[in-house]
Structure 1
């Protein structure tokens, strides 16, 4: 082989390597995820990028908002909902690849107060007087008609016999993180959020935990969308691994499946 041929071959190999590298960089995924997933999923997405080179962009909001956005054609590859109702809704609207659905995570509900609140160790059980506890202040949670955390909160308070008196005091937020912020900023003395959210904000503290029996099980289903890129399968597989389980449990989520390696 003469010098020209060797040089040409080396040049072609370099072009091929650069093309493969560019292809890897071009791969990306978009995940629509419940607002309560932000911190944990940001860590998971960073770990996934380190492992695969695939960038994952996450859009966080109330599950209701995300499901409606997908219905209107917003592009996403994966949907993580904070309740089964909105995943069911997305399936009915044919925006989800139903066979890929997995109930991945569980959570719990907490009553929170500002970090400097004098409240401590509130017992939440039948007849629990939340309205009296709030006094002249407001109680922050998600919209009880649509946002999963608000729906869980209302269900719990109705079962405990506390909803009717407390309802007028509620400040309805558009997501659990918005409700959390109201308490953290001192705009509401009390809030009902997921325990995982309470753990990530130093401006609040948990003063009571709702019995699991007081509300429907808090389940986070995950699935690929109907328009998902092929790479979504690998991402969903990563969510089921021990590596993801470790991250999710660090933030307080309950891993509902047997992890893969």
Structure 2
């Protein structure tokens, strides 16, 4: 069951009622009962893979999708979650410093790649340089996750900075709350270009990859995962198993850990 990125609204309610009442509020969502299932907070870019993985898991799982920064902040505030799978090591590091994540139980689960996309009927992009990007935008914007908090946006900013394009392209960015929102803007033709993960591009038939960002232009894209409760340990083990890792691979992720 998905609680989805509309969890933003739920988070606002959690802040209003206070951490003490957070568990009671979340457990009113059908399928998220603590007595017969677990709650997983996962980066929005994992939607399709997590859909298939939870269908294979022999227990009840409720998944809340959103940007890694949002999810990490809510976890630190006490929102009920049994497992966290984020799209950036910085946010998991922060949860460690907050004392929420046990570093001994944390793993690097899967990897990904960063790409520049355009609507499916768009022509190839000859080069990813400032002049070429501005010409393709033609007054429009590049859809990208928030460059200060959304991992895909942070990786995208690192690429633009490393390539010397940040100052020129910054005024032309349309920053979104998560990477799937950036994907949707391009798929609907509302922006001519977007920066997303390769797995997002593969999941959306209305976009095409016009440029693959070299890996050396940003930090490695690693999805760290950790159990946040003893109840989440079995699902965490399942995520590392061969069955789940095959699902990740089928969706374009790079398996980093497999436990037989």
- Residue 128 of structure 1 contacts residue 160 of structure 1 at CA under 8 Å; is this kept in 2? no
Q: How far is the alpha carbon of 1:250 from its aligned partner?
A: 0.5
- Residue 130 of structure 2 contacts residue 169 of structure 2 at CA under 8 Å; is this kept in 1? no
Secondary structure in 1 aligned to 2:100?
coil
Matches of residues 233-244 of structure 1 in structure 2 within 5 Å? 233-244=233-244
Moved over 2 A (4+): 121-124, 126-133
Question: What is the distance in 1 between the residues matched to 2:194 and 2:57?
Answer: 33
Equivalence for 1:186: 189
Q: How far is the alpha carbon of 1:162 from its aligned partner?
A: 1.2
Equivalence for 1:30: 39
Question: What is the distance in 1 between the residues matched to 2:161 and 2:135?
Answer: 16
Deviations 1:153-208 (A, max 9, x none): 00001101111111111000000000001111111010000000011111111111
Give TM-score scaled by structure 1 length. 0.83
Deviations 1:10-47 (A, max 9, x none): xxxxxxxxxxxxxxx94311000000001001111110
Equivalence for 2:67: 62
Give TM-score scaled by structure 2 length. 0.83
- Residue 117 of structure 2 contacts residue 194 of structure 2 at CA under 8 Å; is this kept in 1? yes
Deviations 1:109-137 (A, max 9, x none): 010001121x215434x767433332211
Q: Check 1:135–1:222 CA distance in 2 against 1; reply closer, same or farther (3 A cut).
A: same
Secondary structure in 2 aligned to 1:231?
helix
Q: How far is the alpha carbon of 1:210 from its aligned partner?
A: 0.2
Question: What is the distance in 1 between the residues matched to 2:224 and 2:133?
Answer: 30
Matches of residues 1-261 of structure 1 in structure 2 within 5 Å? 26-49=35-58, 54-117=59-122, 119-124=123-128, 129-225=132-228, 228=229, 230-257=230-257, 259-261=258-260
Question: What is the distance in 1 between the residues matched to 2:176 and 2:186?
Answer: 11
Question: What is the distance in 2 between the residues matched to 1:127 and 1:224?
Answer: 42
Q: How far is the alpha carbon of 1:95 from its aligned partner?
A: 1.8
Question: What is the distance in 2 between the residues matched to 1:260 and 1:175?
Answer: 30
Q: Check 1:214–1:129 CA distance in 2 against 1; reply closer, same or farther (3 A cut).
A: farther
Equivalence for 1:21: none
Q: How far is the alpha carbon of 1:218 from its aligned partner?
A: 0.5
- Residue 120 of structure 2 contacts residue 206 of structure 2 at CA under 8 Å; is this kept in 1? yes
- Quote the RMSD (CA, aligned, Å): 1.6
Equivalence for 1:7: none
Q: How far is the alpha carbon of 1:70 from its aligned partner?
A: 0.9
